[in-house]
Chain A
Amino acid sequence: MTDPGPLRLDPPGEGAPLWRSFDHQWYACAYLGGPDTARDPAEVQRHYHEAGAALGHAPNRWFDETWYRQRHPDIAAAIADGRLRSGFEHYCRDGYRGRSPHWLFDSGIYLGPGGLDPVDVGAEDCVNLYGHFLRHGAKLGRQPHMLFDHALYRAGLAHEPGALHAIAAVGAWHHFIDRVWFEQRDAVTTAWFDPDWYLAHHPAAAERLRRRRSACALHDYLAVGRSTGSNPVPQFDEAFYLAANEDAAEGVRAGRFASGYDHFLRTGAREQRPPAPHVDLRRYRDTTPAARIAIATMAARDAFTHLLLSGNTPPPPGLPNAGPRLVPGGQIDSHGHAATAGGWVVLGWLPGGAVAGPGAGTIMLAATARFVGGDVAGTATLVRFPRPDLPGGGAGAVVFLPAPPPGAGLGGLVELELEADGEIVRVPAQVAAAPLAEPILVTHAAASIADLAHPDPALTRLRTLLARRPYAGDSTLIALRDPVFFQVDETILCPPLEPGGRAGLALNGWMLTPPGTVAELRLHCGDRSHALVLDHLPRLARPDALESIGASLGLTDLRSGFLAYAPDFLSDGEVPHMAITTTRGEIGYHPLPPPLLRGMAAIRSLLEKFELRYDEVASAFDHVIGPAVMRLNAARLALPPQYRVIDFGIQPALPRLSVIVTLFGRLDFLEYQLAFFSRHAHAQPYELIYVLDDPARARQLEELATSAFARFTIPFRVVLLAQNLGFAPANNLGLSLARAPFVCFMNSDVFPGTPDWMERLTERLRDTPELGAVGPLLLFEDGTVQHQGMRFERVAQYGDFNFAMHSGKGWRPLQNEGLRRADAITGACIVMARWLAQELGGFDPAFPIGDFEDADLCLRLRARGLEVAVDMGVQLFHLERQSQAGSQNRWRMNLTLYNAWLHDRRWRDMLDALPIANDEDTVEIPA
């Protein structure tokens, strides 16, 4: 075999893949004592070819010669035999087709979820996956290695000036590689590897790093540490894991896994296998609600990940049942509730030997604070600090017990009971010790633990809690160490249903933050607070937020918006604010905009925001939209309506029927109706009441009514509302003015067909006592059925709510005489006795604007034992929806959903008990 000679290498960025370039700056930095810019690049390259390659040097920072030889023993052997000059040469000729070139690139991961996306551009001009990643994937944030997480890396450096821009320019991975080589600064790249801890606990690794044998802690771990049994994080014990899991040990021996930790991350963590003797993941998950939520929402992959991300102290495995050992002693010096930190802070001392473990350090343990008026229990943080003044090895103690602010009547603290590792310590309080004020208490506690060295996560967390400051009226989110972008665009005050109650508060906002950053969102007002669990709230697409903020953070959550509702929350004059707690324990505040909208404008604003996924509908209406809209609508209608009445012509003295028509938008329907009424000389006197629910058109209606009366000479009455009320209240106002024994609610777009329809429908009611209401057969303009009665069906995509279905709509009517019983009939034309309509209060105004109130009225009749039916022999035309505003608007669609929700919650049980309506056999033809 002839020697092909040394490879000719181009500088980076000149066409060839980065891994195939010669990077003279890096080479000089790595092997020649620094990035000496004075050196001739050709001379540096000559050094590589003549000496470096043989010495095992790499030509650039993207191909790791040492790694390559170590990872591929066959190649190392070939080099030793002189068959190959270098691993690099092999990779360029052959190995690029599948061999691993770098410690921080794993083609299996790059091909997996989160890695290369099939839609990524540029695949065609890259010789291999690694080349694609270097050129495109790194910038796109695709995952190259299990231990490299772009978002986390960015979040970790977010506080460094300019870092985010630099990361955005080259991609997180390149930024990290440059940083560790050229700046010799480490960084966190994953929740699963703690560089500081690794170096602190592996002196040999620290020494290798110092001698630049490795670029950073993670490089050392991957190249050396993990194959020699080093632990990557304190919560994982490699030796323990391999001993406890034979399958893992076997997999490592066979080369399928790089280490026990590799096995654990790929398999064991999901199965919640114990990663270390002192860590019980199952128990951690079961006892930590935040962990469960984070896992359910995929903010954390598994309990282990949450444990590392949260900085929590892991619970040890449950001990064999030995019974608690009671240890007396100690003393509580002072205590108090720190609302900002979110719990009770207790200061005092513990006797030597109390609570297992060394005399100082932080542990998590079960605690119960006994007060005069009751107990407060939970998992507390105990920090002990040296108290040389105490005899017998006693230690000072700060205990933090998370709990909401106490209500009245809890009284003074009597004792604190701590339980850990099977022993119970009861620490008595000084007699009559009054709680300290929060600022003094927190300062005192923070000072007591300020000097402790070697802070562990739990101590760091407690310090963070004690460092929290109360809300001062401004947003403090910017000061958080984690990027948290949060905005509330609008708040809507939802007045109480009962006078003197508290108002609810609806919010519309968005939040963008890397997954796992935020532990809790809480709305505060006075001494009340309300947690917002975004995953239980209706979410909104916010492309605006994503474009302005999300892109720079590498976030892709389009549905960052939310609607929330805090029930019974605000009293008059109170100003709420938002508190956001991060998983680190920091707290940030954000003020809320004052509520501005009221009434229908507020309802509309709330309803036009969202387009729910099918599975969200029921919950969104039950918890957020339903209660908010209900209160807004009730408040809107709380005052009696203002209106004027104008009579055209002399009203009949003793009408038999009052026809009530609500006008909205299309006023010309009045003209049509009167024209058609004029065709028939009605045998019974009737009165016509037009209610204009469209105040802006009052003058227009006055003019049209004047002209229509002059033309048709039919007397009628016009009721002009001062505000838009909606279908039900407007009709009810008409009902309150009605004088005849029968009333007909009629839509403005219903027009007579059968000339004596009024007479026939009132006679039908009079002759059929079991009927509570009757309506005509309504036809479309082409003679097909618009309405011949409704039955109810649940609609899965809309919250599984019951919806009224119009039987036979658009079909030719099957018969033209007789009564057709139905579950409900439409309010477009419905005749009933006036006393009954008034006793029922007409249509229920809880249904805003117009939907479902007719079904509700019919079901209320049914609940009284009365039936409803369509008289198929009486035919009118209904042009359907002409009289209402276009229903294409999202808010109108959502309002229909609201009405469906309200109706369903009221009638579901009764509707479930109804027999299934049979469309074919419900007609009675009277003999």
Chain B
Amino acid sequence: MNPDAPHEAVPLHAPAAITGGRESPPATGARRVLVLAHSHPALTRGGAELAALRLFEGLRAHTDRTALFLGCGREPGGGRAGSAITQPFGADDFLYTMSGYDWFKFANHDERFPREFAALLRRTRPDVLHFHHYSNFGAEAFLIARRTLPNARIVVTLHEFLAICHHYGQMITRHSRTLCHQAAPRDCIRCFPEFSRADFFLRNQYIMRFMEEVDAFIAPSRFLAERYTAWGLPPARVHVMENVVADAAPSAPAPAREDGMLRVGFFGQISFLKGIQVLFDAAAILEDEGADNIVVNIHGDHTLQPEEFRTEFLASLAKAGRNVRFHGPYDNARVDGLMRSQDLVLVPSVWWENSPVVIQEARRNRVPIICSDIGGMAEKVEAGTDGWHVPVGSAPELAALLRTLAAAPQRIAAMRATIRPTTPAHEAVAEHVALYDSLFASPVPASPDSMRPAAFLPD
């Protein structure tokens, strides 16, 4: 299944694009892996479901492990009467059609789910359940899995800060949209006055109670791992590991450039949090200064954003000078070519980020990156090796850096030489498999009763 293919029901058995060496399967342990995603790549194409899909594909392509897939759909009446879990896309590809979900504490009120999920597990008997996200299934899914298959290992890849922060897991304050460093009931009710401190206490207790059943957490960045261990996850269970990312398309030479222009690219979702306003402000400063050798190319989609933002975006665009060009959405299959036509890729997000795919894509295309100096961005872009950091939200400093680099193209060329390549997909899959196997080196540990969110512990 190719994520970049059109959205038809693609059989999960499609041959993988890349083949690798096969390992010999272990006699016991992690032979059968069920990959779970909060959506299904045949339905939506968010980062988490694509990461799940690539893991699934990688497991099938690179190993002799058996891989199964369970995604979620929200389509009303999308299931079949009497069945919450169906197989519309293939034999090893399952779809849970959800109903009744509590987004506050990730509780699944669908009374069919525990029974049908347990039945699926009994039938398929996976050795490893690997969740990308747990929303839609509900955090209780870990308990149901543990109850049904006591010897199976449960692995969860963490996306964003969902368990920690009720504001879409962003750790950005809800009203002033400033960076938040630590969740605490006393602070959370400032963002959500409709809830009480006690509600946030209970929310954390509830989620954590089911996190206790998880054997390993995967954080794609050290930054995310640190936030979650500070929140209360036992550090021994948290592993930093990149998601499986597609390898770059066969390299075409970058177009020759002789005009002295600096081309700066912005890729991906266009939203406030992605720092689009910082980009506009920096471009305006350069325009005011009369810099005519820097052009900013915006590639991405703004149409899924709230109306208010869309209006604001189009207004900013109309006011922007000639040095800003908006190219609209792009097909992900073209991203390598689009990136290679740029001198720099800009990631000016004003939230923490985790491990942005855009950074992975820039690195695999050897395009130096300018990013905000916080969180997952700062971690994934090593300053001086992969690119440059600018203080988060600072348009003047971004403008100054661009002006400097426009005058010194040799610095960009030098950076292009040192930029680190990304982990190839087969290596990332192998790391995952190694983790699964390590979990079978020791018996399933008893749930530690002491595991509670650190921010809420009495002492």
Judge if B440 is at the interface, Cβ distance under 8 Å: no
A207 → chain B closest CB, angstroms:
83
Given A679-B449, A711-B143, A781:B111 Cβ within 8 A: no
A748 → chain B closest CB, angstroms:
12
Determine which of A668, A678, A779 lies in contact with B209 in the assembled complex, contact meaning CB atoms within 8 Å.
A678
A782–B209 CB distance below 8 A: no
B457: A residues at CB distance < 8 A: 783
A882: B residues at CB distance < 8 A: 196, 198
B196: A residues at CB distance < 8 A: 879, 882
Determine which of B114, B197, B449 lies in contact with A781 in the assembled complex, contact meaning CB atoms within 8 Å.
B197
Judge if B387 is at the interface, Cβ distance under 8 Å: no
Given A707-B111, A713-B147, A680:B140 Cβ within 8 A: no
Determine which of B100, B143, B206 lies in contact with A707 in the assembled complex, contact meaning CB atoms within 8 Å.
B100
A782–B458 CB distance below 8 A: yes
Judge if B121 is at the interface, Cβ distance under 8 Å: no
Q: Tell me the complex Cα distance, A704–B110, Å.
A: 9
A751: B residues at CB distance < 8 A: 202, 205
With most chain A CB atoms within 10 A of its CB, the pick from B100, B111, B201, B457 is B111
B209–A676 CB distance below 8 A: yes
B109–A704 CB distance below 8 A: yes
B365: A residues at CB distance < 8 A: none
B108–A781 CB distance below 8 A: no
Report B329-365 CB contacts with A as 1/0, cut-off 8 Å.
0000000000000000000000000000000000000
With most chain B CB atoms within 10 A of its CB, the pick from A671, A676, A679 is A679
Nearest residue in B to A756 (C-beta to C-beta)? B449
Q: Tell me the complex Cα distance, A675–B138, Å.
A: 12
Given A672-B205, A707-B110, A783-B459, A680:B449 Cβ within 8 A: yes
A786 → chain B closest CB, angstroms:
11
Judge if A443 is at the interface, Cβ distance under 8 Å: no
Judge if A797 is at the interface, Cβ distance under 8 Å: no
B456: A residues at CB distance < 8 A: 781-782
Q: Tell me the complex Cα distance, A261–B111, Å.
A: 92
B114–A711 CB distance below 8 A: yes
A781–B110 CB distance below 8 A: no
A711–B205 CB distance below 8 A: no
Q: Tell me the complex Cα distance, A388–B147, Å.
A: 115
Within 8 A of B (CB), among A763-800: 779, 781-784
B97 → chain A closest CB, angstroms:
16
Report B201-227 CB contacts with A as 1/0, cut-off 8 Å.
110011001101000000000000000
A676–B205 CB distance below 8 A: yes
Judge if B447 is at the interface, Cβ distance under 8 Å: yes
A675: B residues at CB distance < 8 A: 140, 206, 209-210
A678: B residues at CB distance < 8 A: 143, 209
B107 → chain A closest CB, angstroms:
6
B81 → chain A closest CB, angstroms:
18
Judge if B368 is at the interface, Cβ distance under 8 Å: no
A679–B111 CB distance below 8 A: no
Nearest residue in A to B458 (C-beta to C-beta)? A783
A672–B447 CB distance below 8 A: no
With most chain A CB atoms within 10 A of its CB, the pick from B205, B210, B447, B459 is B205
B222 → chain A closest CB, angstroms:
30
Judge if B428 is at the interface, Cβ distance under 8 Å: no
B197: A residues at CB distance < 8 A: 781-782
Within 8 A of B (CB), among A698-734: 703-704, 706-707, 710-713
A879: B residues at CB distance < 8 A: 196, 198, 201-202
B447 → chain A closest CB, angstroms:
7
A679–B447 CB distance below 8 A: yes
Judge if B115 is at the interface, Cβ distance under 8 Å: yes
A755: B residues at CB distance < 8 A: 449
Determine which of A672, A711, A712, A779 lies in contact with B202 in the assembled complex, contact meaning CB atoms within 8 Å.
A672
Judge if A749 is at the interface, Cβ distance under 8 Å: yes
B206: A residues at CB distance < 8 A: 672, 675
Report B182-204 CB contacts with A as 1/0, cut-off 8 Å.
00011000000000111001100
Q: Tell me the complex Cα distance, A877–B107, Å.
A: 21
Given A749-B198, A781-B197, A710:B209 Cβ within 8 A: no
Nearest residue in B to A754 (C-beta to C-beta)? B449
B202: A residues at CB distance < 8 A: 672, 751, 781, 879
Within 8 A of B (CB), among A669-693: 671-672, 675-676, 678-680
Q: Tell me the complex Cα distance, A99–B26, Å.
A: 119
B198–A781 CB distance below 8 A: yes
A710–B107 CB distance below 8 A: no
Q: Tell me the complex Cα distance, A749–B458, Å.
A: 18
B110: A residues at CB distance < 8 A: 707
Q: Tell me the complex Cα distance, A779–B205, Å.
A: 14
Judge if B144 is at the interface, Cβ distance under 8 Å: yes
A710–B114 CB distance below 8 A: yes
A716 → chain B closest CB, angstroms:
15
Report B439-453 CB contacts with A as 1/0, cut-off 8 Å.
000000001010000
Within 8 A of A (CB), among B136-159: 138, 140, 143-144, 147
B108–A711 CB distance below 8 A: yes
Nearest residue in B to A779 (C-beta to C-beta)? B458
A710–B447 CB distance below 8 A: no
Q: Tell me the complex Cα distance, A781–B107, Å.
A: 21
With most chain A CB atoms within 10 A of its CB, the pick from B140, B143, B206, B458 is B458
Report A644-671 CB contacts with B as 1/0, cut-off 8 Å.
0000000000000000000000001001
Nearest residue in A to B196 (C-beta to C-beta)? A882
With most chain A CB atoms within 10 A of its CB, the pick from B112, B114, B144, B210 is B114
B209–A679 CB distance below 8 A: yes
Q: Tell me the complex Cα distance, A710–B186, Å.
A: 33
B323 → chain A closest CB, angstroms:
52
Q: Tell me the complex Cα distance, A347–B210, Å.
A: 95
Q: Tell me the complex Cα distance, A712–B186, Å.
A: 30
Q: Tell me the complex Cα distance, A779–B449, Å.
A: 17
Q: Tell me the complex Cα distance, A880–B201, Å.
A: 13
Nearest residue in B to A749 (C-beta to C-beta)? B198
Given A675-B206, A707-B100, A711-B144, A781:B212 Cβ within 8 A: no
A679–B212 CB distance below 8 A: yes
Nearest residue in B to A880 (C-beta to C-beta)? B198
A710: B residues at CB distance < 8 A: 111-115
Nearest residue in A to B450 (C-beta to C-beta)? A755
Q: Tell me the complex Cα distance, A672–B140, Å.
A: 12
B208 → chain A closest CB, angstroms:
10
A679: B residues at CB distance < 8 A: 209, 212, 447, 449
A706: B residues at CB distance < 8 A: 111
Given A679-B447, A680-B449, A711:B201 Cβ within 8 A: no
Nearest residue in B to A710 (C-beta to C-beta)? B114
B205: A residues at CB distance < 8 A: 672, 676, 751
B108 → chain A closest CB, angstroms:
7
Q: Tell me the complex Cα distance, A672–B207, Å.
A: 10
A704: B residues at CB distance < 8 A: 109
B242 → chain A closest CB, angstroms:
33
Nearest residue in B to A676 (C-beta to C-beta)? B209
A783: B residues at CB distance < 8 A: 457-459
Residues of B at the A interface (CB closer than 8 Å) are: 100, 102, 107-115, 138, 140, 143-144, 147, 185-186, 196-198, 201-202, 205-206, 209-210, 212, 447, 449, 456-459
A and B contact pairs by CB, cutoff 8 A, 15 listed? A672-B205, A675-B140, A675-B209, A675-B210, A676-B209, A679-B212, A710-B111, A711-B108, A711-B144, A749-B198, A779-B458, A782-B186, A783-B457, A783-B458, A880-B198
Residues of A at the B interface (CB closer than 8 Å) are: 668, 671-672, 675-676, 678-680, 703-704, 706-707, 710-713, 749, 751, 755, 779, 781-784, 877, 879-880, 882
Q: Which 4 A-B pairs have the closest CB atoms?
A: A783-B458, A781-B201, A879-B198, A710-B114
Known contacts A675-B140, A679-B212, A783-B459, then 18 further A-B pairs from the complex at CB < 8 Å, ordered by chain A residue: A675-B206, A675-B210, A676-B205, A676-B209, A679-B209, A679-B447, A680-B449, A707-B110, A710-B113, A711-B114, A779-B458, A781-B185, A781-B198, A781-B202, A782-B197, A782-B456, A784-B458, A880-B198
